[in-house]
Structure 1
Amino acid sequence: MAPNEPTLDEIIAKIQSCLDTATITKTLLPFLNNLHESVFSARPHGQTDPIDILSPAAHSFAYLYFLVYRCKASHGFHPALLEKVWAFVTTCDGDQIRAASDKALSFAEALVKMAMESHQPVIAIRPLAVFIQRIQLSPGQLTMIHPLLAKTCLLAQSFKDIAPILDCDISDVNPTSTHIDYRDFLLYHYYGGMIYAYLKQFERAVEFFKLAVSAPADVASAIQIESYKKYVLTSLLHYGKVPTLPKYTATAVNRCLKLHCVPYSEFAVAYEKKSNSAIRTELEKHKQALVRDRNYGLAKQCMEALHRRNIQDLTRTYLTLSIEDITSIIGLGSDQDGARRVEGIIVRMIESGDIFATISHEHAGGMVSFLDDPNQHNNTATMDKINAQMQKATAITSSLIAMDQAISSMPAYFNKGSHTIDHPAYPMDESDYGMQLGYDAYADEGSILSSALYAD
């Protein structure tokens, strides 16, 4: 400790004397910032460790400083330190932590770094999820921790803890109270869209990608371009077409998308024609671009989705069809393997309620009988559902207007041309094709996000 620096006893006394937010901001913040980081990271010999004296609930502001430097100095997993981390995130005072937002982000990043060095990114997920809930003013408030949590969940392939957070639509993006910036908004919705795509919740994935693409902009961000590519593919998977972007999408973004997303636009045009041959042609034509973007596997999933839509179309024309005829009509050939694949698709569609049908094997090869929807949608439950959706749409519209104004006021909004996607490779199991790719889960943080879901 330097000669002019206060003793540990003096530091602890100072911390313990500053308990309200006003005093913390005015007095304790400059006091702690003037201390050398070794004060927080070193474990004193022959003296009680200050972090064992302080309360993570009453002295959250100072406790955060100690944890930041302890986590930064730690190389890998240490159970004793993680116990203190857990005690902190479950009891810390949100008001105090919001007064040290830069340190809160540093703490979250250091925690992830510690987990990554242990080759166990999952370690950081639960503490980050709880930490977000402690510092939020409302469940719909976006914090600077959201993108980091989503990124870590992608690395660990663990989505249980982030699911409730993702399912709560963002309605507050006030940078004054959260110190988030424009990039946080884009990355959170980009990562969130990828998580929903992995979980095959394509409707939510589309919404998340759309929020990133349509965010106010004077210059298109690389994150918006990558979001649009996945917006196209997840839209094809869920809707069978690409919905028009909102009218408020920036002209600069639309212009950039037309220039940089040609392979996706051409693939979408072919897909909407519902022609197997046209889609295969475009898929092969743009394979190099799709592989480079790590989206080839996602594009291939569109093929089975097309088969499902073609089968749905058949229910409007036929009452019964043999599995062999269906296989031929939707373009999967007439061999036995194609018939088995079609039967599997039909079974899954019946189970998910996409079609109403029965399969009989009294005839060679099997016959499919298409049935009418037993739900006439003329009951109270249906009307209640419609009313609930209308109320939700009205609320979302109001939130979007507020978010648009808040995002446009962010300082980073005016300097976003250089925004790039900063995230590591992570694994996913492309179960539809029985693939499991090898990967380096701890690859360079600057590499483009990759997975078996998005890569061939």
Structure 2
Amino acid sequence: MAPTDPALDSVMAKILAASDLTAQKTLLNDLPEHVFTAKAFTSEDPLDAISPAENSLAYLYFLLYRCKASHGFHPALMEKLWAFVSTCDGAQIRLASDKAMSFAEALVKMASESQQPIIAIRPLATFIQRIQSNAGQLTMIHPLLAKTCLLAQSFKDIIPILDNDITDVDPSQTSIDYRDILLYNYYGGMIYAYLKRFERAIDFFRLAVSAPADVTSAIQIEAHKKYVLTSLLHLGKVPPLPKYTAQLVLKALKMHSAAYIDFAGAYEKKSNGAIKSELEKIKPQLIRDKNFGLAKQCMEALHRRNIQDLTRTYLTLSIENIASAIGLGSDPAGQQYVEGIIVQMIESGDIFARISHEHAGGMVSFLDDPNQHNNTATMDTISAQIQSATEITAKLTAMDQKISTMPEFFSKGRHGPMPDFGGYPMDESDYGMQMGYENYVDEESFV
């Protein structure tokens, strides 16, 4: 039903009569906030007079201020919110990207205040897909969605978005800034690590660390720490960073990730004694950084790799001998742990073996891989992976070149000027809330 208040009638008439969207935006910006909340959710609601699909710009302003004024999820508000995010015109919304971001933040704030952050996730994901000009475009809302998913530990709705590689970082369309890129890749890496999709996690952390920079961000330091641990877990080593990584970033990493680099050095040598010594040495820092869960997974992955190495040398070994060979001694608890790992590795196809308990403690017979990997399907898979890797590398190189030639990414943006790490240790109380990269997932969630 259309509004009957004469003042609201006049305002709505002016909005709809604006000569173009730029003029409409100017008019909307000049209106006091109370206009957008007047008669809300009544029979005279002015939003009932306009369409979320055809009048998306105006609808955005009304929803923004109503979300800000709301102290919870009013059913009528959610109904109009869903109608908006599902049908809005992305081209109109991109004209007011700052208001779009404020709307998204207000939505998350409502959800958080209701102790239900998960409620904001699907509307945000839908909104992103409506306002993107293409599936590879990064928007300001991407990092907020990823952060909210971490807070709620709910990832179903963001995975299709994360799985689309970002190839469009045009700030003229979305008003993104440099920190949006860092945060999105950092949060995305955390989400993939939580889901144990480690290859993607490594890619995301690498993108954050190697982003063009004229100062080193604390986000890059934290991303590098997780890059080191995730690489050790998945690959058993830390691949070198891309050659185009800024020298000042590499210098900062040597200073602020030194403990992680030392741990990686010992880990790659597969020396159990040295690894345990380094792990014990940096345990307080790992706990403080909320990375201890990842480090513990690295140790289990090392045991798996050591067992795989044994398959190349021996045909049969007792479980006790295997436990001793991988540095767990002859403790019965260690042998039980080893048997559990072997069972998991057999089930996942990591090794081919048979366990027999005809002898005390159990014997493991290692078998040959029945798949000779010499068929057409294997060759097709390899070719597809090579082609995919080549395409992704080309896209990332082009994107990095584009970012490095856009001075607006390195200027003062929504978040304020980029902080110079300046050789000082990061204090989460100083940087965390300001920059929005808090570790919402407890380290035990990575176990």
TM-score of the pair, normalised by structure 2: 0.91
Q: Does 1:451 align with 2:447?
A: no
Structure-2 change in CA distance of 1:445 and 1:75 (3 Å)? farther
Q: Is the 8 A contact 2:150 2:441 kept in 1?
A: no
What is the CA distance between 1:410 and its match in structure 2?
4.6
Letter in 1 for 2:271: S
Residue of structure 2 equivalent to 1:7: 7
Aligned to 1:161: 157
Matches within 5 A, 1:223-234: 223-234=219-230
Cα distance in 2 for residues equivalent to 1:248 and 1:338:
44
Name the % identity: 69
- Please name the residue that 2:145 is paired with: 149
Distance 1:176 1:161, change over 3 A: same
- Could you tell me which residue of structure 2 aligns to residue 418 of structure 1? 419
For 1:156 and 1:259, locate their aligned partners in 2 and report how far apart those are by CA, in whole Å: 33
1:240–1:306 contact (8 Å) kept in structure 2: yes
5 Å-filtered alignment, 1:341-360, equals 341-360=337-356
Which residue is equivalent to 2:366?
370
In structure 2, the CA distance between the partners of 1:45 and 1:168, relative to structure 1 (3 Å rule), is closer
Between the aligned partners of 1:413 and 1:355, the Cα distance in structure 2 is 49
Query: Which sections of structure 1, spanning at least 5 residues, go unmatched?
Result: 1-5, 425-442
From the superposition, tell whether residues 145 and 446 of structure 1 become closer, same or farther in structure 2 (CA, over 3 Å): closer
Residue 209 (str. 1) matches residue 236 (str. 2): no
Residues 280 and 407 of structure 1: CA distance in aligned 2, closer, same or farther (over 3 Å):
same
Q: Write the distance in 2 (CA, Å) between the matches of 1:350 and 1:291.
A: 32
Superposed displacement of residue 46, structure 1:
8.3
2:216 match: secondary structure? coil
Q: 1:75 aligns with which of 58, 71, 74?
A: 71
Cα distance change on mapping 1:330 and 1:54 into 2, 3 Å: same
Cα gap change, 1:198 to 1:276, in 2 (>3 Å): same
Cα shift readout 1:34-78 (whole Å, capped 9, x = no counterpart): 111111123369871111222111111100000000001111232
User: Which residue in 1 is equivalent to 2:120?
Assistant: 124
Q: Deviations over 1:369-393 (max 9, x none)?
A: 1122222221111221122122212
Give the residue type in structure 2 aligned to 1:66: F
Question: Over residues 75-124 of structure 1, what are the superposed CA-to-partner deviations in whole Å (9 max), with x where a residue is unaligned?
Answer: 12322211111111011111111111111101100000000000000000
Paired residues in the alignment total 429
Displacement, 1:254?
Answer: 0.4
Candidates 52, 56, 65, aligned match of 2:48: 52
Output one character per residue of 1:153-179: Cα deviation in whole Å (capped at 9) or x when no partner. 000000000111111111111212222
Question: 1:170 pairs with 166, 169, 177, which one?
Answer: 166
Q: Residue in 2 aligned with 1:437?
A: none
CA contact (8 A) 1:423 1:449 kept: no
Cα drift, residue 252 of structure 1: 0.8
1:92 corresponds in structure 2 to: 88
The answer (yes or no) to whether the contact 1:360–1:368 under 8 Å persists in 2 is yes
User: 1:7 aligns to what SS in structure 2?
Assistant: helix
Contact 1:407 1:413 (C-alpha < 8 Å) held by counterparts = no
Q: In structure 2, do the counterparts of structure 1 residues 339 and 233 end up closer, same or farther at CA, with 3 Å as the change threshold?
A: same
Structure 2: how far apart are the matches of 1:196 and 1:161?
13
Cα 1:445–1:402 shift into 2, 3 Å: closer
Q: Which residue of 1 aligns with 2:3?
A: none
In structure 2, distance between residues paired with 1:454 and 1:232: 18
8 Å contact kept, 1:423–1:447: no
Tell me if structure 1 keeps the 8 A contact 2:41–2:76: no
Q: Within 1, Cα distance between the matches of 2:388 and 2:41?
A: 59
> CA contact under 8 A between 1:270 and 1:279: conserved in structure 2?
yes
More deviation, 369-378/266-275: 369-378
Distance 1:167 1:63 in 2: 30
Q: Distance in 2 between matches of 1:444 and 1:143?
A: 19
2:39 alignment counterpart: 43
User: Which residue in the other structure is 1:283 paired with?
Assistant: 279
Measured in 2, the distance between the counterparts of 1:71 and 1:422 equals: 33
Amino acid at match of 1:252: L
